[in-house]
Chain A
Amino acid sequence: MTPSPEAQPGAAAAPPSDRALEGLADEAAPFVRLAMVEDVFNLARANSLWPLTFGLACCAIEMMAAGASRYDLDRFGAGLFRPSPRQADLMILAGTISRKMAPVIRTLWDQMPGPKWAISMGGCTISGGPFKYKGEYAISEGAEKFMPIDVHVPGCPPRPEALIAGILKLEEKIKQGRRFERAG
């Protein structure tokens, strides 16, 4: 802000009265909205989700389609896929999680800085999906066994619209704020 020409350096201005402040607020109301800082941050977070470039199986094809021009995740601010977990704040788990891969996913999740969110996309990451049967030995039965998930998007695989609906649901959730602090 540039100081007005009348303001002299060193001259302490008298604090404005409450009535003057109210008048100022009325005057600025069409242009200025006042809100809690955390709400403003949450608005920014919700509208600029950066997902991790990270596909596990066939659901990733639908995730890529959602990011491409026909479905265009950029309309909702979530189309900027980051190649590093350090730069991402959303993990879209798209595909089958084998027991070999699960510790890797957990490591990636731990490497993402908070605040961060996770969407489990498709039946495999929700519960093991079609791989949950007697005698199965290699597929993890759902991502929620080893990491927290914010939104589940069912389908096999879900269409891009479904993933977009999940991201919009997550945006709603972020904008509502958090009652308690999350650890880690």
Chain B
Amino acid sequence: MSAPADLARALDELGLTVPAPAEHPFHGAAETRWVPPARIVEACRAFRDAGYFFESLTCVDRLAAHGVFELIYTFNQWRLPGRVALRVWAPQDTPVPTVSGVFGGADWNEREAWEFYGVVFAGHPNLTWLLLPEGTAFRPLLKSFTAPPPSEYDDSLTPPPPPADAEAAPRS
């Protein structure tokens, strides 16, 4: 299996000609290509013009071996069977351009990758915590992560003291 001819031609014109291992049995991608981080937005635009939708964003921690995060963008469409994926090796300290301007649904995927791995997406409209509490300082899905001990968390949610002019508590 491979990508439809029009999409393959568009990707070729962008110079994204290097195939990456497709791993079809694992996530069903018919074709996978390597993309430099700086060119991910125009690659996504080619997918959108070919009628594809953004399916998911996967992040892999390859910091120990290669010093990069591997980002796998998967795209699909409803006409033919055939998922197509893009792979990006993003160096740890370099922000990756956001694709949320092309595919709005990528917004939350990028927030998730940011909060769990620390991948910074340049130009993202709202790069804040999605699933973890606001202000979480650690990146739980990094391989180097060790969880703080339970005593570090405050589960009591101690409320702020009521204002001085608050009425007496209702009888209950």
Q: Which of B129, B146, B172 contacts A114 (CB 8 A)?
A: B172
Complex CA–CA separation, A141 to B152 (angstroms):
13
Instruction: Name the CB-closest residue of B to A114.
Output: B172
Complex CA–CA separation, A140 to B138 (angstroms):
17
Where chain B touches its partner, the secondary structure class is loop
Contacting pair B155 A113 (CB below 8 A): no
Residue among B129, B138, B146, B153 with max Cβ neighbours from chain A (10 Å): B153
- B117, chain A: closest CB distance, angstroms: 14
Interface residues of B (CB under 8 A from A): 129, 131-133, 138, 140, 146-148, 150, 153, 155-157, 159, 169-172
Instruction: Name the CB-closest residue of B to A106.
Output: B157
Given contacts A100-B133, A145-B155, contact A135 B147 (CB under 8 A): yes
Query: Is A136 interfacial (CB 8 A cutoff)?
Result: yes
Q: Among residues 79 to 99 in chain A, which have CB atoms less than 8 Å away from a CB atom of chain B? A: 98-99
Instruction: Name the CB-closest residue of A to B146.
Output: A135
Complex CA–CA separation, A112 to B146 (angstroms):
39
- B34, chain A: closest CB distance, angstroms: 33
Complex CA–CA separation, A117 to B153 (angstroms):
26
Residue among B156, B170, B172 with max Cβ neighbours from chain A (10 Å): B172
Query: Is A116 interfacial (CB 8 A cutoff)?
Result: yes
Given contacts A100-B131, A135-B146, A135-B147, contact A146 B155 (CB under 8 A): yes
Contacting pair B171 A181 (CB below 8 A): yes
Please indicate the chain B residues that have their CB under 8 angstroms from the CB of A114 in the complex: 170-172
Complex CA–CA separation, A94 to B151 (angstroms):
25
